[in-house]
Each structure stands twice: as C-alpha cells, then as structure tokens.
C-alpha cells in the first residue's frame, strides 16, 4: 500500500469565472526541478496541529522553500516513519521551518513557485499532500505537479 500519485484532473462543464482576484496558474515543464526556489502555499487549513487548531475563514498563505529530496528523506526518516522510509518519486518537499507550514484542511491546496524563466510568473509546483504534524522542522510533502505534466496535457 501507500500513498502516491496523489493527483486528480477535473473537467468542467462550463468555464470557470475568471476575475481580477480569480485566475489560472501556469504549469511547470515535465520533470522540472524546483530546488532552490522559495514558493508560496495557500489554504484554509488549521492554524495549529491538533484539537486547538482552528480552520481559517480567510485564505492564508505561507512562504516555503523547496527542500532537496535527499534532505527531505533524511528529515522524514528522523520521524515515526523510521530509517527505512522511502519517499515516492511522485512527491516533492517544502518547508521544514518551525511555525511555517501547511496543516490539516489544506490538502489539495497549491504550492506555487516562481518560474525559472520569469520570477514574476508562478507555476503550480505542488499540491498539498501530507506531513508529520504541522509547523515543525520536518518538511511538508507535496504532489510534484511536474511529474504529471505530460499526463495533464
């Protein structure tokens, strides 16, 4: 078992309403490397892990750096996942900064990173998938959208 390839593609019957504050995001290239980029995650998830956490009524955002795969795996193996944990290739990691993270209720939300061609344009690098708690120094795990670009197209 296990969780991987955690992505869905929706086909709408009618076009989405685009407005000044509602628009689309660009997609990354197939297998594009996001290392060394500072990205932004957004969502309405809990502000704190556990029963004390409250879901948000206003969309929140947090800046998170992409974490290299080897560093992420090393960090995840220090948790209850254990030293033999293998991170599926369909995931990337971001965060690992105490107090800055996505949390319960943010699943499916976007992780947007600056385009390598134009840092003023963002691409959807990830989709919030899972994590070990929230806001710890363990990076969060995101579906790597670039792995699915050919499938999306």
pLDDT band at 2 (very low <50, low <70, confident <90, very high): low
The per-residue pLDDT for 150 is: 97
Residue 59 domain flag: yes
pLDDT band at 20 (very low <50, low <70, confident <90, very high): confident
Please give the tally of structural domains in the chain. 1
- pLDDT tens column, 38-70: 999 999 999 888 888 899 999 999 999 999 999
Q: Which residues pair with 72 in a beta bridge?
A: none
- Averaged pLDDT for residues 132-147: 96
Residue 68 domain flag: yes
Residue 6 domain flag: no
Residue 137 domain flag: yes
Residue 88 domain flag: yes
Residue 33 domain flag: no
Residues 6+ apart with CB under 8 A from 145: 7, 27, 28, 123, 124, 125, 126, 127, 152
Residue 79 domain flag: yes
Residue span of the structural domain in which 144 resides: 38-152
- For the domain that residue 52 is a member of, what is the CATH number? 2.40.10.10
Residue 66 domain flag: yes
pLDDT band at 140 (very low <50, low <70, confident <90, very high): very high
């Amino acid at each position: 078992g296990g969780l991987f390839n955690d992505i869905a593609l929706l086909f709408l019957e009618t076009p989405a309403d685009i407005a000044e504050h509602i628009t689309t995001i660009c997609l990354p290239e197939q297998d594009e490397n996001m290392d060394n980029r500072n990205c932004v995650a957004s969502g309405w998830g809990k502000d704190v892990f556990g029963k004390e956490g409250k879901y948000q009524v206003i969309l929140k955002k947090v800046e998170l750096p992409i974490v290299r795969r080897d560093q992420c795996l090393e960090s995840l193996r220090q948790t209850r996942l254990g030293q033999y944990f293998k991170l599926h290739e369909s995931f990337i990691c971001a965060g690992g900064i105490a107090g800055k993270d996505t949390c319960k209720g943010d699943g499916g939300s976007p992780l947007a990173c600056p385009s390598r061609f134009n840092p003023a344009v963002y691409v959807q690098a990830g989709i919030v998938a899972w994590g070990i708690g929230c806001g710890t120094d363990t990076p969060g795990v995101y579906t790597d959208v670039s792995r699915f670009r050919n499938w999306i197209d």
